[in-house]
A = this chain, B = another copy of it.
Amino acid sequence: MMPQDEKRFQEKIRAIQDTMFVIGGKWKIPVILSVYRGNRRFNDILASIPKITNRVLSKELKHLEENLLISRTIVSKYPVRIEYTVTDYCLSIDKVAKPMEEWGKGHKKKISKQS
């Protein structure tokens, strides 16, 4: 039998790996933030995130849609016009994104200080 705290440790690992699967990688949170910020159209999102390419953006949007964080709506058929918006559920990401933002800012200072 596995000790209680060992079991809890394994669950912790799994939960964090699940989170990483959904919002990990270089682009997923930036895409969410961009849409959250008001960029609803593909090319606007594309332009708002430095160095992202259309292929990567397309894939990330699909992944986020599958994970219920972004919704995609066809607002006009001719011409094709799509709108991306964040879901209500997506707002929960803020609880993770905010700490990450703060930690990143602090880390930059830390690293530049030691040199």
Contacts and interface: CB of A to CB of B under 8 A. Distances in A.
Interface residues of A, number: 44
A101 B20 contact: no
Given A16-B33, A89-B110, 9 more contacts: A10-B50, A12-B101, A13-B33, A15-B102, A16-B29, A20-B25, A68-B111, A93-B103, A99-B99
A110 B97 CA distance: 19
A104 B14 contact: yes
A25 B24 contact: yes
B96 A19 contact: no
A55 interface: no
Q: Which label, helix, strand, loop or mixed, suits the secondary structure of the A interface?
A: helix
Given A12-B33, A50-B13, A20 B100 contact: yes
Interface string A1-12: 000000001101
24 contacts: A9-B34, A9-B48, A10-B50, A13-B30, A13-B49, A13-B50, A15-B100, A15-B102, A16-B30, A16-B100, A16-B101, A17-B30, A19-B101, A19-B103, A19-B104, A20-B26, A24-B24, A24-B26, A68-B114, A92-B103, A93-B103, A95-B99, A95-B103, A99-B99
